[in-house]
Copies of this chain bind each other. A is one copy, B any other.
Amino acid sequence: MKTTSEILKRAKSAALSCAPLDTNSKNAALLNMAQSLINHTDDILAANKTDLENAAEKINEVMLDRLRLDEKRIAAMAEGIREVAKLSDPVGRVLSETIRENGLKIEKISVPLGVVAIIYESRPNVTSDAAALCFKSGNVCILRSGKEAFLSASAIVKALKEGLKKSEISEDYVNLVEDTSRDSARELMTANGYIDLLIPRGGKGLISACVQNATVPVIETGTGICHIYVDKAADLQKALNIVDNAKTSRPSVCNAAEVCLVNRDIADKFLPMLAERFKNRAEIRGDKEVCGKICSTPAGENDFDTEFLDYIMAVKIVADVKEAVAHIAKHSTHHSESIITEDIKAADYFTARVDSAAVYVNCSTRFTDGGEFGLGCEMGISTQKLHARGPMGLNELNTYKYIIHGNGQIR
């Protein structure tokens, strides 16, 4: 078994010593990686079977389903890698170019971050997605899979490395942490000088552990307490469809809405429509005023600060867009919020003041997604403000450097 510290050293040394790869070599290697996954389908399924057996009594059916692979899912992972090969190369973009009066030519060029570490949980597909995105963006990656998925991740990484090898590219571009105890996570969080960016992908506990304990740069992802505000000038039928979609189309994801704020002026009309639509499909947890108007569960103390990830929506009545914005400022995780209104002034007030990664007018919060935004893929959705906000695509896995050409200039 390789220790985590050995893996850190190898990764750093690969990032330093590997020649910058050109786009064609990277794309060819990605196709080899995809093919190698397919070729190793049997090995990967066997490893996954053992993972599933070991985990069977420890985790619930939802978690087991996340962990479970079949031929179709492996083919989808390979297809995901091929899609990444098709995206344009983020490295080497000239972000700006100036020639100064003294003759210095200053170029600002996008370059890989270096070593990117990803700590995740039990979805084996994260292994290949993250590896492909890091590789295409010129980074060396260090993957730390959750314990339950370790054998699956291990088989996947083995296949990916074989794809790299076939392309005569260093296998050290893709690394899997072999120690699945908490120690290794802590070691990654404090590996200053070895890791340029740490991305936690998973639940609230994992993310907050990284934010609290990491001394390496971290991008927070994912937690979404998303709001929809139905304004008094809303088209109520539109509002109903949007709230329904944002809540129920896929409740387990971070861009699903958790809270609906309803303007008092249209509450008597809208709330019964919502209650009817959600009947036997989703639970409404209403504030006192809501419970006075429709039959709903009284909202508890924490219901406006909870990412339910379930068929549950907290509903509250507000006086106006101002109160809606104030509520969002207090309770949001700054992921995605939407206003439903035909009043341009209310929409402008909302978009100017709401401080979230994605602020919507008259559409569902479910669109906060790399694919939907046209980035072609995503490494997660950043809910912080530094470096990347919202869906992180390939460009967000790059930094830049200034390259300055002179002919003897001194200052």
B106 and A373 contacting across the interface, CB-CB below 8 Å: yes
- A106/B16 in contact, CB under 8 A: no
Contact B356 A410 (CB under 8 A): no
The interface on chain A, measured as residues whose beta carbon lies within 8 A of the other chain's beta carbons, has a size of 66
CB A382 to nearest CB in B, in angstroms, measures 10
Interchain CB contact (< 8 A) of A408 among B111, B238, B411: B238
Chain B residues lying within 8 Å of A411, measured Cβ to Cβ, are: 245, 249, 364, 366-367, 372
- A217 on the B face (CB < 8 A): yes
From B104, B238, B244, B326, A367 is in contact (CB under 8 Å) with B104
Would you give the 0/1 interface string for A209-252, flagging 1 where the beta carbon is closer than 8 Å to chain B? 00110010101000000000000000100100110111001000
A363 / chain B contacts, CB cutoff of 8 Å: 104, 404-410
- Residue contact B100 to A409, C-beta cutoff 8 Å: no
- Residues of the B chain whose Cβ atoms lie less than 8 Å from the Cβ of A238: 407-408
Q: Are B389 and A387 closer than 8 Å at their CB atoms?
A: no
Encoded as 1 (CB less than 8 Å from any B CB) or 0, chain A from 341 to 359 comes to: 0000001000111011111
**Closest chain B residue, CB of each to CB of A329:** B16
A235–B406 contact, CB under 8 A?
no
Chain A residues 230-280 with CB under 8 Å of chain B are 235, 238, 241-242, 244-246, 249
**Residues from chain B with Cβ under 8 Å of A20 in the complex:** 352-353
Measured in the bound complex, the distance between the Cα atoms of B20 and A246 in whole Å is 29
Of A174-182, A313-321, A395-403, the segment with at least 4 beta carbons within 8 Å of chain B is A395-403
Known: A16-B329, A245-B411, A407-B362. A402 touches B192 (CB 8 A): no
A193 → chain B closest CB, angstroms: 10
CB distance from A180 to the nearest CB of B (A): 25
- Tell me the minimal C-beta distance from A134 to chain B in angstroms: 14
Interface presence of A129 (CB below 8 A): no
Q: Which residues of B contact A408 (CB under 8 A)?
A: 235, 238, 241-242, 362-363
A196 within 8 A of B: yes
Task: Please list the 9 inter-chain residue pairs (A to B) with the smallest Cβ-Cβ separation, ordered nearest first.
Answer: A363-B406, A245-B410, A385-B399, A387-B387, A363-B409, A366-B411, A386-B387, A238-B408, A358-B402
Q: List 7 A-B contacts (CB under 8 A).
A: A235-B408, A249-B411, A358-B402, A359-B402, A362-B405, A362-B408, A363-B410
A20-B353, A361-B403, A367-B409 given; name 5 further pairs at CB < 8 Å.
A16-B355, A196-B385, A242-B408, A363-B407, A389-B399
